[in-house]
Chains A and B, each alone.
Chain A
Amino acid sequence: MNFIRLMIYFSVYVGFVSMAFYLLGFLEKRKAPKRLKEYFCTIIIPAYNEQNTLEKTVESSLALDYPNSKYEILIVDDGSKDKTGVKGKQLAKKHKNVQYFYKKNGGKGTALNYGIKRAKGEIIISFDADSMVVPNALKDMLPYFEDPKVMAVTPAMKVWKPKGILQRIQAIEYDLGIFLRKVFADINAIHVTPGPFSSYRKSFFEKHGGYDEHNITEDLEIAMRIQSLHYKIQNAPRALVYTIAPKGLGLLTKQRRRWYFGMISNLRTYKRLFSREYGMLGVFVLPLSIVSIVTVVIISSYTVIKILSDWTKQINLYSAVGFDFINNLNLQWYLFSLTFYRVISENIVLFSVFFILLTITMLQIINKKVGSIDRPISIFISYGFFMLFYGILFSAWWIMAWIYSRFTKEISW
């Protein structure tokens, strides 16, 4: 049995363990806490060149099912070069609880800290200017703060009307994220509080400092800091936030390079989280994430190399017969049927079919539970693209981030 085959079997087993563990948590019935108190909340919208999406983000905040007198919206313009300022001022003029601030460009962390300093709310909500929230979101999130140990509550993120292959792949990734975040919350293992509509207790910032302004993934750093101080991060699965996912490969790659680079450097900083002291986060969730990343990268890289070498071989063979395909149809059909025999007798195929069916079922359940507007057929198409390309993209991004982390100290937005 060769190395790569062993690796595949190992990843299948690890996949089964994590799937079983997470499904057991997902299926465990827990009642969401009942709302006890109407906190005063501050929604901070850090904006850098967001003239096209800012208005929608603010409007969705204004449409929240929560008393207007109980929350404020602070737009912090981080030195935009487009018309974000004009839009921001207009919105502030039009709505009583919207305020607009301008500051010199310094990065998202600085914009959020600027907002926190001026916030009146007990609860701070960071809200990326390219996202929209459903009206019930705040009401669903706030009850979790009744537990004094809870310092942050994350929403359920979805991709806004995914189109094209890349957005559809991200849509599935986000949907699986909803599942994972809910399961992680039950074992206090959430280690990222995403930029769009994560809420925090203001006292945490007062006691332990604001966002790390030099951190490229400040939302990851703050979550790890909360965890490292033994507080809790909760999740409100019905608090849906729609975000506009990058459409082009260039933008998406840039975003992922930043995220994964941030993950590597923050895990280095908070390596103490990998310990028995941090419960399931330290002994199961984080180690398992690393094992999964490494195995996916190895297997996907091998697959890509294998496909490329097979193609090269085929091209080489066809060049020998002057690329005459017509006189080779019989042979090709025969070779295809031989390969088919070989493939169907592999255990891996059985495992893959099982995983695919299970994931499709899970995606349907998740979307039904959170009250998603996506049609099942759309999920099905997206899942097809996800199966085909995600492993390869995911591996490429991780390899890129790892190279950056080895040879550079910083990475830009």
Chain B
Amino acid sequence: MKREINWTRLLLAFLIATFLFSLGIFLGFLAKGTITDASVSLQEGIRNDIINLETLYLLEDSFPCNEEIITITSQKLDYLGELITTLEVKRGKDAEDVLELKKLYTILEIRHFLLTETRNEKCSGSHTTFLFFYSNDENCEGEVEKASFVLTFLRNKYDNIRVYSFDINLNSEIITTLKSEYNIKGCSGVVMNKEKIPFKVTKASQIEELF
């Protein structure tokens, strides 16, 4: 004895499901599109900020030891760093335009680093500088995340700390030069006040002992 199968209802159910599923995927794409649009305006904003920052650096030559300039440029640099990370999350870390922005950002970081070091020497500044070299490689995730977390924590805790982060996988001559200068190998490396820290950073207290 065979029972009936309601093929019409079954077919209708599959049609409705396919429609709703496709609609969901389409709306998802729309949402992603909106985010991409937002990314484009974010990129434009970042480029404007970069020009501003370069002008501020030029001001430094005319007004040496002006505290205001270092404060503003530091804030701007941090803000730009966050914007680029946001963009990296939205567009993916391998997106061409993100990589280009990161290269530009690297130049700004180096200029700021040199500015801070000069301040420390000429204007009796007391900033502690950290150069943080990291790899975006998946195998390095744990080590890099921990070192990054510790350095961000220290930057939040102490006002006079500056951290400059560099993606060692970035195709940039500046980074290659710095890497060879400080003999950076492996997933990460930290340089404090121009001296390479000879151990892997895993705890904030390790660094605090060096102050």
Contacts and interface: CB of A to CB of B under 8 A. Distances in A.
Interface residues of B, number: 40
Contacts of B25: 347
B28 interface: yes
Secondary structure of the B side of the interface?
A: helix
A277 interface: yes
A348 to B, nearest CB: 8
Contacts of A3: none
B1 A277 contact: yes
B145 A17 contact: no
A13 B13 CA distance: 11
Contact of B82 (A279, A283, A334): A334
A16 B21 contact: yes
A347 B204 contact: no
A25 B9 contact: yes
A345 interface: yes
Contacts of A283: 5
A318 B85 CA distance: 21
A331 B89 contact: no
Contacts, number: 111
Interface stretch (B52-60, B65-73, B129-137, B146-154): B146-154
Contact of B21 (A12, A24, A277, A331): A12
Secondary structure of the A side of the interface?
A: helix
Residue of A25, A320, A324, A331 most packed against chain B (CB within 10 A): A320
B210 interface: no
Contact of B156 (A280, A327, A342): A327
A332 to B, nearest CB: 10
Contacts of A21: 9-10, 13
A320 B150 contact: yes
B156 A279 contact: no
B146 A316 contact: yes
A1 interface: no
Contact of A320 (B3, B21, B35, B149): B149
6 contacts: A21-B10, A277-B3, A283-B5, A320-B146, A321-B204, A345-B28
Interface of B: 1-6, 9-10, 12-14, 16-18, 20-21, 24-25, 27-28, 31-32, 35, 82, 85-86, 89-90, 145-146, 149-150, 152-153, 156-157, 202-205
Interface of A: 12-13, 16-21, 24-25, 187-188, 230, 276-284, 313, 316-317, 320-322, 324, 327-328, 330-331, 334, 338, 341-342, 344-347, 350-351, 354
